[in-house]
Every structure is written in structure tokens, then in C-alpha cells.
Amino acid sequence: MSFLSFLVDVFLFALVVLPLAVAAWGIRRILLPAWNGGRARLAEVTLGVALAEIISEVLGSFGQFRRVPLAVSTVVVGITVWSIRKRFTRRITSSTSPPRPVRPTALTLVVAAGSVLLVFVSWVTRILMTVGAGISQADSLQYHLPFAATFAQTGWVSRFHFAWLDPVWTYYPYGSELLHSIGMVVFGNDALSLILNLGWLIWALAAAWYIGVPWRAQAVTVVAGAAIAGTTLVGVSAPANATVDIAVLALLLTAVAVLANGRGIGELVLAGTAAGLAVGTKLNVLGAVAALTIGVVALSARRQRVRSLLAWLVPLTLSGGFWYLRDLVRTHNPVTEINLPGLPTHVFPVVSRQKPILAVFTHGSFWHAVPSALFDAMGPLWPLVLAMAITGVLLGLVRPVTPVQRLFAIAALVNFAVYLASPGSAGEPYFGYFNLAGNFRYADFSVLIGLILLATTVPFDKRRLLEVLGVTYGAVLVACLIPVHGHIDGLPSSHRGQGLAVTVLLAALIAVFVVVAHRLSRRALAIAGIVVVLVLTGAGYREVDHYLATRYRATALGSWARGVHHARIAVVGLAAQYPLYGADLTNTVDYVGYRGPDGGFRPAATCEDFRRLLDAGHYGYLVAGTEKWFTATAPEQYWMATDPAAVRVASDTSTQIYRLTSAQTPTCEPGEPLVVRLPPGTPVPPGAK
């Protein structure tokens, strides 16, 4: 990658982002003219991301999610909002001025600064580790990034893509992945994905801060946010990956923060936008958003309820409804992942084996697995974390300082109830409740709201209690990140030093800017800003060039795919398929199978069907693995071994790569299939060999 091409990509990215920033600023001025400072920036980021997703969804519904249409659309939106902003500024205003922040105590400020710094060191270190190897988190490789890359390749967002033998991933909402797609469309690679979740972390911490402002507890609530959003499962899986849990947390916290600071029409529009973005990112938040919706109506004056509901629901639908509308049109079920009575149903051979916690609640084996799972999910102080979160929710219910705190407590309870009833929340009972700890992330919002409520329900005259809570939350964070052997969990010392250096440097730059910004003229600020941008661009090019030159070289599949460009690759028996998209993301990757009515999907059950599908797809390569997730055997390698038109070109311990030289032989010779042992009672799809 040349420096000149990198500069062109950066310019195009600025051409997309800057008009969105102008449009977001204009809309915020219309909705909330009294907001300023960090609170205004939080609102503008929310509105800007919503505009980016809506524009991408509209373009992607017509196959035009590409560089030029995207840049032109954002410029048009920016110019339009800029030209009409003054006309609407006086029509929609906030009902009340936002509360002014009160300076926290010195102790809580120190704890907050230390907590945020520690989390950033951990995250930046993991990002630096990924730069030298490539994104490796399982969910990112299996569906987050494959779907993002497919959107960017095809220009279509509304069409289904199948990446697994179980089609459940196809029907997910992909709002957060769409932001990764924007980076891929503009840059032609996934370098932006390395830092996107770091942006979500900053967003989540800012929202946690402003939740505490009305109750003068912002320094403590941001420590709670750092402890939950920045550590253990989220903190390990999110940095330099494409997981969406940190994004959902940031968006829900933003909705809560806006409602905590006011409930005029402008605030409701902004909060509804954030809630809609959350719904468009993950299905599991529907319960919490539904609770907030009912609460918004209940807390409004009787004569204002219809107006308040519309101010909340319209932006919620616009910012988050696209994926559910897509599923409704293509499968006649807006939540296809859930087989609702009276609507078309689909077969999910893997997901159907997973159980909700409510289904195994009385099993002794489940309770035996809970302590270790909670230890992995929340660290060694998990009993204290749960006790504080439960106490906070109870205080929010029975003795809230303001009525909106009761709404937040109810939303936390509803979210936790949805978690208990969600398929997969208990993990895999067949395998010792595998992933029970990992799926606890669905309850993170409930736990964090409980910790925030505990801090915000403290009476204003008991500031020492806030200091104790701040120190306690900080101890939870430290216990999660620093085990007894004295270093940050799982991070090599060389990368820890680099992460610390980068974090301290960025913190110093921000501190200097905050101190001297008001003393400089606009011209001086502009010059300083240009210098900083140039320095960051140069440093960014160095890291991006290194990342693109080394990503996935250490794996057999990734190393092979780096030398393949603009190829059609068929996949079967392999979930972590993202490296196959190649270094420049030009390879088309499809899971082999039949597409049925109502958007259904099923793998080929016989050798003859399998070879016909390969011919019909005009594939140049086949990557055949043995990962069937214990739903069926994996005979495809044996089927291809007898086909003279398939030449094996690479392999690893469980996966074979074939070059398809001509049309596949329609008849198959009998071969001994590779047998995968199935647990007793595991359903096997009809016709599986």
C-alpha cells in the first residue's frame, strides 16, 4: 500500500465523515440548542452514526452501497441540513436546560482518571497485538466481518448472505457491522475495524459520565462504566475486533443518559435515535427498549403522551427498523431468529440445541457451573459486583431520587429477564454449559445500570459514600484486569509497554488541548489541528501498512487466501471464514447449500447435490472443513477426493482447499465418510450422510 493511495483513502473518508458531522451538528442545534460541551458532542456523534447507517441502508437497498454514491449522499445531506438549520432551530427546543455538572471530589476524580487510563492501556495493548497478527476473535471471523465484507463487496445490504450451515446469522440486525462496511468501502480493507470498538468504548464512558451528572455522581458512574464495559469479557473480546456488545452498551447508555438529563421533545428524539441504533445492532435489547418506551409515555404529562411517544418512536424506527423490515419482506417474519406462532418458521440445527437459563434453572449441573462462569464473566469480585448491582436496582425501584431512576431500574430488570429467557443464555448443556460465561454479556447492561443506580441514589449530603463506591468500583476493575501475578491478564510485557506509552501520549495531548485551547486564537487552533492530523496520518499509515502486510500470514488458510484475488470461494464445514476474503477483501465467499422459500437455507445432503451446487455457483475454489457443530457428519472432503475436476492445493489439520478446474462430475463414487460422533439425542437433519 503506497502512502499516496493511503492519503487518497483518508481524503475520501473525510469526504464521508465531515458532511455527516456538519449534518449532525445542525440537527443537534435544531433539537437541543441549549446543549454544549461534551454533552453536545455525545448527541452529535449519536446523530452522525444514525445518519451514516440510514444512508448506507438506503443505498444498500438498491445495490449502490459504494464509494461514490456514499460520498455524494453524505455531502448532499450535509449541505441540506446546513441550509435549513436556521429555519427549524426555534421550532423544536428542549423543555429544560440540561443540568450543570458539579465538580466531583478529588478522590473520585483520581479514581475515575486512573480507571479510564487502565482500561485504555489494556485496550490499546490488545489493538497493537492485533496489528501484528490480524483480527482473531471467533464471532468476528464467523459472521461480524464476513457480513460486513459482503455488504462492501456487493453493494447490497438488503440481500441475504449465508455463512454457516445454521442460517441464524443471516437474520441478525447488522447496524454496527455496517460501520465496518463503510470503512471497507472507503479504504478497501478492514484497517478501520481495528479501532472502531475503541470509539464505542469512549462513547460508552462518555454516556456513563453524563448519566451521573444530574445526581452529581458522574465520576463514580464513569468508573462503573469502565469496570463493566472495559474489562473481562467485553474488554477482552472487543478491542480490535468487530463484536457488537460494547456498541450496544454505548447506545443503551446514551439513551439512558439523555433521558436522565431531560425529557423534552428534543431529548426524546435523541434518546429514541440511540435506542433505535441499539435495536438495529442486537436483537436482545428489544426488552430494555420496550421498557424505556413504556416509561417515556408513563412519565410524560397526560396531554403530551402522544407527542412524546411519536418523538421517541419515529427516530427509533428510522434508525433501527431497517433490518426487521428486511426480514419481514424476505421471510415474512420480522424477527426470523425467533420462530413466532403463525409466522413462517426455519430450522436452526445448531441454535436449537442451545438452552435458555430458565430451561435448566432446576438442574444441579447448571448451578455447579455458575460460580466459575461468573468468575470468568466479572472477575474474582463477582459476588460483590452482583450484590451492589442488585442493591442499586432495588433502590431505584423503591426509593428513587427522581422518577426516571425507577424507569431505569425497570429497564434493567426487563433486560435481565430477557437474558434468562434467551436461547443460548445457558450455553451448551451438552458440553458442560460451554459459553455460559460468554453469554453473560447479554446481562451487562442490567449489571451496569444497577451499579449506576447505586451511585445516583446516594443522597447529595453523603458524599463520602460516593467516594467509597468509587474506590470499590475501581477495585473491581483492577481485580478484573490485574491478576495476582502482577500484570495485565494475557498481555505480553512488550505490548503492555507500547500500550502504556501510546495511552499516556494521547492522554497528554488531550490534557494539553483542554488546558490551552481557550487561550489560543481560532487560527492557532486550526494550525495545531492540522499538525496533529498530519502526525496521526503518518503514524496511521505506518501501522496500517504493517497490519495489511502481516494479517493472517501465520495461518494456513489466511496465508493461502492472501495470494488469491477476485475469486469465488465455496465453503463447507468451516465457520471462521473471514480470512478467505483475502488481503484486499475481493474474494467472494459463500457457504454451499440450497436457498429455500421464505429466505430459508439448508446444506446439501448428498454428494450429487453438493457437486451440482458447486457447478451452479461457478466457484473457482472449495474450502472443505469438518466443523459441523455436531449436527451431522462431514463427508465433503471424501466427496471431492473422488472428483477429477477438484485439485487439492492447500490444507491444514482439518481443512482441505481444492481448486475447481472444470465442471464437477455429476455422479459420485462411493467413499467412506468421515464420521463425527454426535452426543446422544442430537438432532440430525434428514438426508445427512
CA distance 451 to 387: 9
Q: What percent of the chain shows pLDDT beyond 90? A: 51
pLDDT digits 0-9 by tens, 323-372? 999 999 999 999 988 877 888 878 888 887 788 899 888 888 888 889 98
Q: Work out the average pLDDT over 679-686.
A: 38
Tell me how far apart the alpha carbons of residues 317 and 279 are, in angstroms, rounded to a whole number: 9
Q: In 3D, which of 257, 120, 136 has the Cα closest to residue 198?
A: 120
| Residue 166 pLDDT greater than 70, yes or no | yes
* Exposed / middle / buried, residue 522 (Cβ in 10 Å: 0-12, 13-18, 19+): exposed
Mean pLDDT computed over 382-398: 95
The answer to whether 162 and 590 are in contact (CB under 8 A) is yes
**pLDDT at residue number 666:** 67
Q: Is the pLDDT of residue 408 over 90?
A: yes
The answer to whether 206 and 42 have CB atoms below 8 angstroms apart is: yes
Q: Does pLDDT of 613 surpass 70?
A: yes
From the CB of residue 338, how many other CB atoms can be counted at a distance below 10 Å?
A: 16
pLDDT (0 to 100) of residue 484: 36
Residue 69's pLDDT is what? 97
Higher per-residue confidence, 639 vs 214: 214
Give DSSP secondary structure letters for 388-449: HHHHHHHHHHHS-SSHHHHHHHHHHHHHHHHHHHSTTTT-BGGGTSBTTTGGGGGGHHHHHH
Q: Do 214 and 261 meet the contact criterion of CB atoms below 8 Å apart?
A: yes
Answer for the pair 102, 216: CB distance below 8 angstroms, yes or no. yes
Q: Which has the higher per-residue pLDDT, 618 or 685?
A: 618
Separation between Cα atoms, residue 112 and residue 473, nearest integer Å: 10
For residue range 184-209, what is the model confidence (pLDDT) as tens digits?
999 999 999 999 999 999 999 999 99
Lowest-confidence pick of 118-122, 370-374, 532-536, 655-659: 532-536
- d(CA 90, CA 85) in angstroms, rounded, equals 10
Q: How confident is the model at residue 592 (pLDDT cuts 50, 70, 90)?
A: very high
CA distances from 512 to 406, 448, 509, 528, 616 (A): 40, 31, 5, 11, 61
For residue range 409-445, what is the model confidence (pLDDT) as tens digits?
999 999 999 999 988 888 765 656 777 888 899 999 9
DSSP-based three-state secondary structure for 26: helix
Backbone phi and psi for residue 647, each to the nearest 5 degrees, phi listed first: -115, 120
What pLDDT sits at residue 688?
35
Residue 329, C-alpha cell as written in the block: 419482506
Picking from 57-61, 144-148, 524-528, which range would have the lowest pLDDT averaged per residue? 524-528
* Cβ–Cβ < 8 Å for 224, 208: yes
Please tell me the predicted confidence (pLDDT) of residue 177.
97
| Paired strand residues for 623 | 571, 657
- Pick left, alpha or beta for residue 67 (phi over 0 → left; psi -120 to 50 → alpha; otherwise beta): alpha
Q: Please state whether 582 falls in left (phi above 0), alpha (psi between -120 and 50) or beta.
A: left
Mean pLDDT over each residue of the chain, to the nearest integer: 86
pLDDT at position 681 over 60: no
What is the grid cell recorded at 383? Answer: 459476588
List, in order, residues 6 or more apart from 76 with CB less than 8 Å away: none
Q: What is the pLDDT of residues 129-155, one digit of tens each?
A: 888 888 988 899 999 999 999 999 999
Model pLDDT, residue 686: 34
Lowest mean per-residue pLDDT among 23-27, 187-191, 199-203, 594-598? 594-598
Helices (H), 132-188: 138-139, 145-154, 175-187
The angle at the Cα of 269, spanning 264 to 271, to the nearest 5 degrees, equals 90
Q: Are 254 and 203 in contact (CB under 8 A)?
A: yes
Ordered domains of the chain (ranges, CATH): 3-95+107-481 (no CATH), 556-660 (3.40.190)
- pLDDT tens-place string over residues 533-589: 888 888 888 889 989 999 998 888 899 999 999 999 999 999 899 999 999 999 999
Residue 665 has pLDDT above 90, yes or no: no
Largest CA distance in the chain: 82
What is the reported pLDDT for 341?
80
- Summarised one tens digit per residue, pLDDT across range 73-104 is 999 999 999 998 877 765 555 555 666 667 78
Grid coordinates in use for 452? Answer: 449506576
**For the segment 495-514, what is each residue's pLDDT rounded down to a tens digit?**
556 666 766 667 766 666 66
Residue 220 near residue 12, CB atoms below 8 Å: no
Edge-to-edge order in the sheet of strand 656-660: 588-591, 568-572, 621-624, 656-660, 646-651
Using pLDDT thresholds of 50, 70 and 90, give the confidence band for residue 638. confident
Tens digit of each residue's pLDDT (9 = 90 or more) over 222-264: 999 999 987 766 767 788 899 999 999 999 999 999 999 998 9
| Best-predicted range by mean pLDDT (111-125, 622-636, 655-669) | 111-125
CB-based contact 500:506 (threshold 8 Å):
no
The arithmetic mean of pLDDT across residues 592-597, rounded, is 87
430, 434, 438, 443: CA torsion to nearest 10: 40
Listed residue (610, 616, 614, 619) closest to 566, CA to CA:
619
